[in-house]
Structure 1
Amino acid sequence: MGLFDIVIIGGGPIGIACGLEAQKKGLSYIILEKGPIVNSLFNYPTNMQFFSSSERLEIDEIPFISKEAKPKRDEALEYYRRIVTSNKLNIHLFEKVLDVEKVDQTFQVKTSKGAYEGKNVIVATGFYDIPNLLNVPGEDLDKVAHYYGNPHYYAGQKIAVVGASNSAIDAALECWRKGAEVTLIVRGPEVGQRVKYWVRPDIINRIEEKSIMAYFNSTVKAIHEDSIEIINEDGETLSLPNDFVLALTGYKPNFKFLKMLGIHISDDKKRLPEYNPGTMETNVKNLYLAGVICGGMETHKWFIENSRIHAKMIVAHILDKNHK
């Protein structure tokens, strides 16, 4: 396949931004995406609306026009797809990276469909692939999901939504509006403070009027075919009739993959990968990180809007090294 200047792992918005920047600067590159274009966004809830406004989701100053100030999932899918196709980016879809090995001064990248060689590698894989598990009996039942798609599926059903962040709150409200009987189970004392400001009052009002039942300072003890057991704030075990469980307790980066690459990970709860914030280069020479993966377990730290710059930083550093 030849030797690429850059192999980009991950075809999300930031991976695409890296490909665009490499193309503009005359560097050879390939983007490897294990699913469709912007696979993580494709797996977002059907009706999801971004917290950021459309201009903050733009890459390479390509205008993003949306019906509302804050675009929805389908608008974002269309925007990033058009960027890929209009710019004829060299992206390989449905091609999962299986192994990366540094041999002398280059990286050997093996995928589900082939093998590639690169002088530099950029990892822009995000954090949406691995859910934070509840680790309770019954979590492996078919009725339990760690991802949420369309509320129509849950109409007329008794569902328990576990979590207090945007994904959990959106799911609870949407499913309730489609006729589901919704119970919200929250580990902390209140709805998350980072919930979208136009959504948070809505869920609080629904809880106060008891349209949605909420158990705060509560945890899941076990899940059964027709019920869910929780431990409430008084330490009591309650058994609630239940058809489905949406365990929307967040996600985490693939630390196993990062360690395989030789990237150092901090030992604290943040599990921060080691990289130079001025160049985005990791402790492994010519291996870079871009996007939300830079935040380790602090998945709220980096977004599209504040990590778009990573593409320009990385490519600039690569060009600077080439000229020395």
Structure 2
Amino acid sequence: MYDLIIIGGGPSGINAAISAKRAGLEYLIIEKGVIANSLFHFPINMTFFSTSLKLEIQNTPFISHLDKPTRTEALEYYRRLIQHFDLQIKLYETVESMDQLVDGGYRVHTDKGDYATRNVVVATGFYDTPRSMEVPGEDLPKVLHYYNDPHAYIGQRVLVVGAANSACDAALECYRKGAKVTMAVRGNEINDRVKYWIKPDIENRIKEGSITAYFNTTVREIRATEVVLDTPDGPITLPNDFMLAMTGYEPNYALFERLGLPVEPTDACKPVFDPDTLETILPGVYMAGVACAGKQTSKLFIENTRDHGDIIVEGITKRTASAH
């Protein structure tokens, strides 16, 4: 019987595990992929918008070559945290469901085994679940919701869907590596929240015609060698080799449902939990990290959820003390 099972091995899960270990709790992290799986799927050349100081957790220094760390430096930091604190973690193991035990606590079922625990933390983030465009052909192999390296698109006809940071980064990098880049933008301009050093670059490339952009435009259909767009002037068909659908991401709602965790009936679709204790409607089950924001993925980040681990473990230890 564990004191705490933590679902998710990203920054929030690692944070909660360190808090648990310092409090003397028996804990286990269960991660469906690699350490910091969401960050692992970030573009290879990505640089964080936040400084390394704001990404530090548990007062452990995050040293980077420049003020704003890279993806590689972040992965190294979180790997070193797990090694330094000797955290208990199972990788490549997927949580499938959870049952309440008669005498209190839960049994967490994974694709590799079952675990009994008194408490559970859901720290699954949101980057692992892309938002679907729900259009015909979206399941074709050429449609990618994760952008990695522009080298794959040299000489290719690439449609980038979206106009936020990820879309603009992908469009610029692919263009500079020799791809023929087109953008399909739902709104009438590039997103205002695009990084200040990226926004003028992408706008100037569009203005000079190096990158073609269709505004107020959505994808109607995706085919093997072309794509159909709905534009203000009517549908158009473009030749196409790859589509980078940078349409955003959302929490794993399917997992929430399997765990028995309801979400608010609002546009935000946030999980239902106490904002002071982070405890859900299930006693001893907590939310942590950016998943707490639901679909409002621009509200919570690593830097403003760094206290979640301590809040949760404090609640668990107080409850345990009062029970004795």
- Residue segments in structure 2 that go unaligned for 5+ positions in a row: none
The percent of aligned pairs where both chains have the same amino acid is 51
- Distance of 1:296 and 1:177 partners within structure 2: 35
| Structure 1 residue 43: Cα displacement | 1.0
Correspondence list, 1:176-195, <5 A: 176-195=175-194
Superposition map of 1:93-132 within 5 A: 93-104=91-102, 105-132=104-131
Distance (whole Å) between structure 2 residues aligned to residue 224 and residue 97 of structure 1 = 35
1:34 aligns with 2:32: yes
Give ranges in structure 1 of 5+ residues lacking alignment: none
Query: How far apart, in 1, do the equivalents of 2:105 and 2:232 lie?
Result: 55
C-alpha distance in 2, partners of 1:143/1:77? 27
The equivalent of 1:86 in structure 2 is 84
Alignment map for 1:21-100 (pairs within 5 Å)? 21-100=19-98
Instruction: Return the letter of the residue paired with 2:115.
Output: Y
Does the CA contact (< 8 Å) of 2:219 and 2:227 recur in 1?
yes
Any idea what SS the aligned residue of 1:4 has? coil
**2-side partners of 1:64 and 1:25: how far apart?**
23
CA RMSD of aligned residues (A): 1.0
Q: Report the Cα offset of residue 26 of structure 1.
A: 0.8
- SS at 2:168's partner residue? helix
Which residue is equivalent to 1:310? 308
* Equivalent position amino acid for 1:78 in 2: E
Alignment of 1:157-168 (within 5 A): 157-168=156-167
CA distance in 2, matches of 1:142, 1:261: 31
Counterpart-to-counterpart distance in 2, 1:255 and 1:136:
20
Deviations 1:116-139 (A, max 9, x none): 111000000011222111111221
CA distance in 2, matches of 1:194, 1:314: 32
Deviation readout 1:155-191 (Å, 9 max, x if unpaired): 1111000011111111111111111110011001111
Give 2:196's aligned amino acid. Y
Structure 1 distance, partners of 2:140, 2:90, is 34
Query: What's the CA shift for 1:229?
Result: 1.1
What does the per-residue CA deviation read over 1:95-142, in whole Å, with 9 as the maximum and x for residues that have no partner?
111111111211101112221111000000011222111111221212
Count of residue pairs brought into register by the alignment: 321
Q: Is the 8 A contact 2:96 2:258 kept in 1?
A: no
Match of 1:300 among 295, 298, 301: 298
Match of 2:216 in 1: 217
Question: Where in structure 2 are the equivalents of 1:130-209 lying within 5 Å?
Answer: 130-209=129-208
Q: Which amino acid aligns with 2:153?
A: Y
The CA distance in 2 between the partners of 1:264 and 1:154, in whole Å, is: 41
In 1: Cα distance, 2:279 partner to 2:304 partner: 17
CA distance in 2, matches of 1:132, 1:113: 28
SS of residue paired to 2:2 = strand
CA distance in 1 between partners of 2:100 and 2:296 (Å): 28
Aligned counterparts of 1:62 and 1:26: Cα–Cα separation in 2: 19
**In the alignment, residue 298 of structure 1 is paired with which amino acid?**
Q
- Give the residue type in structure 1 aligned to 2:61: P
SS at match of 1:203: helix
Name the SS of the counterpart of 2:257 in structure 1: helix
AA of the residue aligned to 2:160: V
3-state SS of 2:303 partner = helix
* Deviation, structure 1 residue 233: 2.2
Runs of 4+ aligned residues of structure 1 deviating over 6 Å after TM superposition are none
Worse overlay, 50-59 or 259-268: 259-268
